[in-house]
Amino acid sequence: MPKDRFITELYGSTDVGLVRDHNEDFYFIHESNVQKDYSLLIVADGMGGHQAGEVASELSVTCFVEEFDKLELKKVSNIEKHLSDSLKNANSQVFDKSKETETLGMGTTFTSVLFYDNRLFFAHVGDSRAYLLRKNKMIQITQDHSWVAEQVALGIIKPEDAINHPRNNIITRAIGLNSSVEVDVSSMKVYKGDILLLCSDGLSGLVSDKSIEEIISINDFQKIPDKLIEIANQNGGTDNITVLVGMVTSGINYNTKNGFLSKLFKI
């Protein structure tokens, strides 16, 4: 008897915001189907003058997806390595492009989440974010590669002061800035009802984690991206804003005894 297909429900939206004149964010959604039995969410936030940021973000996603699709996941012995290698390939191509005159110095953040075989895998570079909401409790599962995040980790800046810090746009790692890049990869088991949210810093820089958690908890799932974008614009809309959400709609229910996340969620 064939196993039940791992099912997710996915939505996404992006907005230029109220200050920028063009959108340098780029996102990608693949929802599981019979041919490709996985779900994939990606947010990339480009940077660079003369609209080169939008070139970097789209190119990184296109290159990553093309490389990722070359192998069937059921034949991949190490999915985390496959994600990392795919992103490193994208980094090389963006870096090569960044040496051209019109796109000189461009780069992009890159945060991807893969749902496959009742697990979540992520590959991440930069300060876009992925959050996991379980039992109405939310944690950030990616680490910001930014100057402010490093200062928070060192205890120099308080977490509550980080969101409005004047240097919170300085990132320390991105796709395309160097010929090689270190990629954060990890995986964890997911359960029915788990919600993943990916966003560019146009959201996280203007809306607190507590507010994001509240909006996710009280709104219709399909409306969450647009509602969060609306809140970010109400708070100034100083950057492009991209929000993707994914919900696990099949599988087993979460038991607080299952794994290390129960300690983080304290449920």
* Nearest C-alpha neighbor of 201 from the set 112, 129, 113: 129
The CATH number of 8-265 is 3.60.40.10
E strand segments, the chain: 8-15, 25-30, 39-47, 107-108, 110-116, 119-125, 129-134, 137-140, 184-189, 195-199, 241-248
Neighbour count for residue 224 (Cβ, 10 Å): 24
pLDDT per residue rounded down to tens, the chain (267 residues): 344 567 889 999 999 999 999 999 999 999 988 888 999 999 999 998 667 999 999 999 999 999 999 999 999 999 999 999 999 999 999 999 999 999 999 999 999 999 999 999 999 999 999 999 998 899 999 999 988 777 877 788 877 666 667 676 788 999 999 999 999 999 999 999 999 999 999 999 899 999 999 999 888 999 999 999 999 999 999 999 999 999 999 888 887 655 545 555 444
Dihedral angle of Cα 15, 27, 142, 224, to the nearest 10 degrees: 50
Residue 86 near residue 122 (C-beta atoms within 8 A): no
What is the Rg, in whole angstroms, of the alpha carbon atoms belonging to the chain? 18
Dihedral angle of Cα 78, 60, 10, 252, to the nearest 10 degrees: 10
pTM listed for this prediction: 0.92
